[in-house]
Every structure is written in structure tokens, then in C-alpha cells.
């Protein structure tokens, strides 16, 4: 079955509303609800099993005749339901073409017709690209007049000037509706971060097929868009500001600041923006700048750090630099035959700066890389990324932006590049709730299970008592390192004792011996 194209300006309506056509003067009619359980009763004169009678056409040339005597309806809603069901069976959509009402809103007469009735308005701005229209000036219609408290059909015209298709009738706007239970499910799925495609497919599976649903995916998307608008307000920036204000009301220690321009949030990743960001961070931290900071090689960020954090030790993420080796040097004939490992040894194994300088010079000469611009730029900024030049600053064992990358991974499944600020608010709360739940599960695991000690060291026993299992395993890896280290006293001068630490570490080529001195 061919699927008809559906206009972008279509909207979802429930069974109590018939939205008329696409012209600007189309009428939206909301009939008075009935008293039956479903709000609709069968027409008095209909005898078909499905409760829908086909209006009897006359023999006039224009296809218009007096209706079957006695066909009347108690309410306008019953009339609309009757004609809509008939149109669905015949394969056309319906709309209200004309109506006359009293001051109290009750109808005096009404004309229901084919949704393709009327003529298209000429709103073409480009003659070479005419806009599609559903209008064919179809004359199919019924007319009902209020008499003795009921709506009685007076005329019927069943002659259409276009094709009919009962199989495609479910796509007509008047036949599509989303009930309250489905709306609730869509809302829940949206708040849980489930994409519309998956959410709609679940409804299709539950219903037993696309044809069993009384709406299409676009209707569900329209509903969610409107629900988000009502739930989160107008603009993304305003919604985010409101969220921050609510959080500050709940928690005195919550800090937020926003910088807006005429378009909303400022998003340019330039030096000026990063200066504002770091200045704001300083205000949040009572003007206490960080001792060290790790970033990628972004120039704007580097400039801003120099301006706002002049005394902060800045380093580049070593992992991001080393991962570029295949891209920058992979075309070299000896990349996999010594070049890569030689560069890694130069970077990771140098214990003093002179050792690195000599090793780098040998590496460049050996593989004839003096003209490589990328390596030249790295060497000029070696103070920002080579470990041997960063040993005088405490980094808590970090040389990469892994911690911030792990936060990016934390939001996976909740936000993505297409997430709006308004959606982000809901998803941020969902992500935080999930984080709290994961921490509770980890706490229970540590409460219910104990990781045995691997040594008799009292300090390991102490960490076992106060740390979670996952953190205690990190301590045990350090304890293992101590086991392979041998400390020798070199000299003692007053309160200062100098030790020589002989360490052995397992590397790819076997055992690596390290010698360090410490006081």
C-alpha cells in the first residue's frame, strides 16, 4: 500500500474535534459531548451492524437529493461521528464546511463535506515550485438542520471528483487521534530519554502493526513537542535559567551564572568566551585558582588560562597527543618497524630533561623527521606535555583529560549533539539520579563484600576499612608496586634522609629497572 505524503502543518486532534482542511478559513468544530459511555451514540435510523448507514443518493444530475426520511441525530457530535465513520469506510476524510450557531453555541445547521472540498488559495511565490494542495473542489457533502431539537439530514451528495481509498483512510487527519493513556506513555518515555523512534516502534509492536494504531509517528512527535513546550517554557536559555534558579533555591551551595546575548546563550569557543568561563569559575571557588589544569591543545583555551590562571601549571592531554601518531606519522615507511616505539620510549622513559633532549635528537635523526611540522610544533611546546618537564607539579597520577572524558561518557544515552537546552534539563536530572543509584549500588557491594588484603601492612588494612572495594583495589595495585621496590638509605643529614629506590616494572619487552632518589 502506498503511503500518502502528510503535510508538515498537520496537527493531532482527539475524537471530539474535526480540524478542517488546509485553507486559512477552515473551521475547527468541537461538538458538545454526548451522554453515552464513549460520548457517541448510533444514528437513530441506522440499521447496519457497524452502526453506520450510507446516505442514500438521489437521481439528480448533481448527485444531490433529499436524505432518507427519519435520518436524524440527537447531537452534532453524533452527526460528525457518523459521517466520519462513513468517510473512513468509503476512503475519504471529512471536514466542517459551513455552520450556523445560536448565541449559546448550539448549532442551527451544519454542512459536513469531503476534506478535499473547496479551492486552493493561490499562495505561490515561485511559479516553478508550486506548493502541493489537497483541494480539488470536491462537492461531496451532507447538510443537517436543527428541527424539533434534533439535527435532521436534509441533503446528501456522494459524488467525489477524486480517487477514494479505504486502505489509506487512516492517514486522514480527522481519523487520527492519540488517547490519554498513550500520551502518558509518550511523556514517560520522553522524560526517560527514550527517543521517539524507539518509543513509537514499541507502540507499533504493542498494537500489532502500524495499521492498528489510530495515529502516525508524526502525530506523536507533534504531541511531544507541544508537551515539552508546556513543561519547559519558551526558550532554551530561559528554561535553563529557571532551572538554575530552582536549584539555587533548593541548595544554598549551588552556583550558576549565565552570559546571554541577543540570540541567547553565548556558544563561541574563543578566548573571550573561555576568559568569561574561567572568571566565573574563580568566583564560584572564592577566587582560588587551581594548582594544575589539563586540557587539549585548544589555542583559545590556552590563551585564556594564561590570562585568568597565570600561576596555574598547564599541561596538554598526553593521551590525545599520542593517539595522533598513526594520523601524523602513519605514512612513514618505518612507522610500525621501530618509529612508534622509539618515540614512545623517548616520551615515557626519559627520567631527566637532558635524557629527553638527547633521545629526541636521536629519534629525529634516525627517522629523518627534521622537516615534520607536527613534531616541530610538539617539541616547541614540550614543557606542556612531556612528563619529564612536569614532574615538579603534583598531578594526582593524571596526565590526560580522562576524568572529564568519563563525565562525557556519563551523559551517554541521555544527551547528544541534537539535544536542546530544554531537553537537557530533564535529561540532566535523569543522569544525576542514575549516578546516585549507581553509587548506592556500589556502596552496598562494599558493605556486603570485602576484598581480602594482599599484605600484612597495617596501612592496607586501614584503607580496606574506609575505602569502597573499587577504590581499595587501586590501593592494592600501589601495594603491589611497593612489594617490587627496594629502598636503600644513601645518606642522612639532620632530619633529611635520602633513599635510593630500586623499582622493577613489567613492560612489553620484559622487566624494566628504575632507580629513583627521594628524601
pLDDT in tens, 42-68: 445 444 444 444 554 444 445 555 445
Q: Are 430 and 192 in contact (CB under 8 A)?
A: yes
Q: Which three cell numbers, joined as nine digits, stand for 233?
A: 517554557
CA distances from 325 to 322, 335, 339, 379, 509 (A): 6, 9, 10, 14, 21
378 phi and psi angles, rounded to 5 deg? -65, -45
Instruction: Specify the range with the lowest mean pLDDT, choosing from 49-53, 152-156, 211-215.
Output: 49-53
Mode of pairing for the β-strands spanning 64-66 and 72-73: unpaired
Phi, psi for residue 151 in degrees, rounded to 5: -95, 115
Q: What is the pTM of this model?
A: 0.46
User: Mean pLDDT over residues 476-500, rounded?
Assistant: 85
Which sign, positive or negative, has the C-alpha torsion 80, 217, 231, 267?
negative
92: cell is 475519504
Q: CA angle at residue 507 from 505 to 509, to 5 degrees?
A: 130
Residue 435 pLDDT level (bands cut at 50, 70, 90) = confident
Which region among 67-81, 231-245, 468-482 has the lowest average model confidence (pLDDT)?
231-245
Q: What is the pLDDT of residue 292?
A: 93
Find the helix packing angle between 236-250 and 421-448, rounded to 10°: 40
| Residues pairing with 265 in the sheet | 260
Percent of the chain with pLDDT over 90: 39
Give exposure, 279-290, as e/b (b: 16+ Cβ within 10 Å). ebeeeeeeeeeb
Q: What is the mean pLDDT of the chain?
A: 79
Between 1-5, 138-142, 236-240, 389-393, the lowest mean confidence (pLDDT) is in 1-5
Strands (E), 148-275: 150-157, 260-261, 264-265
Report whether 481 contacts 492 (CB < 8 A). Answer: no
Q: How far apart are CA 65 and CA 227, in angstroms?
A: 46
Distance CA 66, CA 154 (A): 6
- H helices of 285-372, in order, are 299-308, 318-322, 325-329, 340-348, 353-366
Alpha-carbon span 55 to 44, nearest angstrom: 13
Report the alpha-carbon distance of residue 184 to residue 121 in Å, rounded: 38
Return the pLDDT at 260: 59
Sorting pLDDT into bands at 50, 70 and 90, what band is 132?
confident
204-213, 307-316, 429-438: which range is least confident on average? 429-438
Model pLDDT for residues 363-409, shown as the tens digit of each residue: 999 999 999 999 999 999 999 999 999 999 998 878 876 655 555 66
219-247 pLDDT, tens digit each: 998 898 888 776 655 556 666 777 777 77
Give the residues across from 316 on adjacent strands. 295
Going from N- to C-terminal start, the domains of the chain cover: 71-174, 458-518
Tell the residue number behind the cell numbers 583555551, with chain if given.
301
Indicate the pLDDT class of residue 266, thresholds 50, 70 and 90: low
Nearest to 224 by CA among 175, 264, 182: 182
pLDDT band (50, 70, 90) for residue 3: very low
Cα 510 to Cα 215: distance, rounded to the nearest angstrom: 66
Amino acid at each position: 500500500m502506498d503511503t500518502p505524503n502528510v503535510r508538515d502543518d498537520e496537527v493531532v486532534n482527539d475524537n471530539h474535534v474535526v480540524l478542517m482542511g488546509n485553507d486559512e478559513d477552515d473551521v475547527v468544530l468541537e461538538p458538545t459531548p454526548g451522554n453515552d459511555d464513549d460520548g457517541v451514540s448510533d444514528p437513530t435510523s441506522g440499521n447496519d451492524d457497524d452502526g453506520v448507514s450510507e446516505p442514500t443518493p438521489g437521481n439528480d444530475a448533481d448527485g444531490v437529493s433529499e436524505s432518507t426520511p427519519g435520518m436524524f441525530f440527537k447531537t452534532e457530535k453524533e452527526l460528525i461521528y457518523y459521517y466520519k465513520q462513513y468517510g473512513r469506510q468509503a476512503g475519504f476524510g471529512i471536514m466542517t464546511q459551513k455552520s450556523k450557531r445560536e448565541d449559546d453555541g448550539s448549532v442551527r445547521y451544519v454542512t459536513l463535506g469531503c476534506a478535499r472540498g473547496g479551492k486552493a488559495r493561490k499562495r505561490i511565490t515561485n511559479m516553478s515550485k508550486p506548493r502541493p494542495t489537497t483541494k480539488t473542489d470536491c462537492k461531496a457533502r451532507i447538510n443537517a438542520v436543527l428541527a424539533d431539537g434534533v439535527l435532521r439530514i436534509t441533503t446528501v451528495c456522494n459524488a467525489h471528483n477524486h480517487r477514494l481509498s479505504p486502505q489509506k483512510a487512516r492517514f486522514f487527519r480527522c481519523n487520527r487521534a492519540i488517547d490519554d493513556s498513550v500520551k502518558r506513555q509518550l511523556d514517560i518515555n520522553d522524560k526517560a530519554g527514550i527517543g521517539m523512534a524507539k518509543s513509537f516502534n514499541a507502540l507499533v509492536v504493542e498494537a500489532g502493526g502500524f495499521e492498528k494504531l489510530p495515529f502516525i509517528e508524526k502525530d506523536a512527535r507533534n504531541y511531544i513537542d507541544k508537551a515539552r513546550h508546556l513543561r519547559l517554557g519558551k526558550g532554551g536559555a530561559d528554561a535553563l535559567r529557571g532551572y538554575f534558579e530552582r536549584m539555587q533555591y533548593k541548595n544554598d551551595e549551588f552556583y550558576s551564572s549565565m552570559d546571554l546575548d541577543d540570540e541567547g546563550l553565548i556558544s563561541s569557543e574563543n578566548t573571550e568566551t573561555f576568559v568569561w568561563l574561567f572568571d566565573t569559575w574563580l568566583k564560584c571557588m572564592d577566587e582560588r585558582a587551581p594548582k594544575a589544569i589539563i586540557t587539549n591543545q585548544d589555542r583559545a583555551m590556552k590563551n585564556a588560562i594564561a590570562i585568568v590562571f597565570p600561576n596555574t601549571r598547564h599541561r596538554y592531554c598526553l593521551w590525545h597527543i599520542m593517539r595522533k601518531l598513526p594520523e601524523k606519522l602513519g605514512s612513514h615507511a618505518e612507522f610500525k618497524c621501530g618509529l612508534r616505539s622509539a618515540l614512545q620510549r623517548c616520551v615515557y622513559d626519559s627520567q631527566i630533561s637532558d635524557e629527553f633532549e638527547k633521545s629526541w635528537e636521536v629519534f629525529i635523526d634516525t627517522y629523518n623527521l627534521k622537516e615534520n611540522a607536527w613534531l616541530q610544533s610538539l617539541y616547541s611546546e614540550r614543557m606542556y606535555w612531556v612528563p619529564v618537564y612536569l614532574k615538579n607539579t603534583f598531578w594526582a597520577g593524571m596526565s590526560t583529560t580522562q576524568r572529564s572524558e568519563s563525565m562525557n561518557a556519563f551523559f551517554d544515552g541521555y544527551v547528544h549533539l541534537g539535544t536542546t537546552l530544554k531537553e537537557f534539563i530533564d535529561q540532566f536530572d535523569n543522569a544525576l539520579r542514575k549516578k546516585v543509584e549507581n553509587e548506592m549500588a556500589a556502596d552496598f557491594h562494599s558493605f556486603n563484600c570485602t576484598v581480602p588484603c594482599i599484605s600484612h601492612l597495617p596501612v592496607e588494612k586501614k584503607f580496606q576499612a574506609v575505602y569502597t572495594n573499587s577504590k581499595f583495589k587501586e590501593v592494592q595495585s600501589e601495594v603491589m608496586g611497593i612489594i617490587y621496590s627496594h629502598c636503600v638509605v644513601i645518606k642522612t643529614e639532620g632530619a633529611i634522609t635520602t633513599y635510593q629506590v630500586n623499582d622493577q616494572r613489567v613492560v612489553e619487552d620484559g622487566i624494566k629497572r628504575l632507580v629513583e632518589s627521594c628524601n
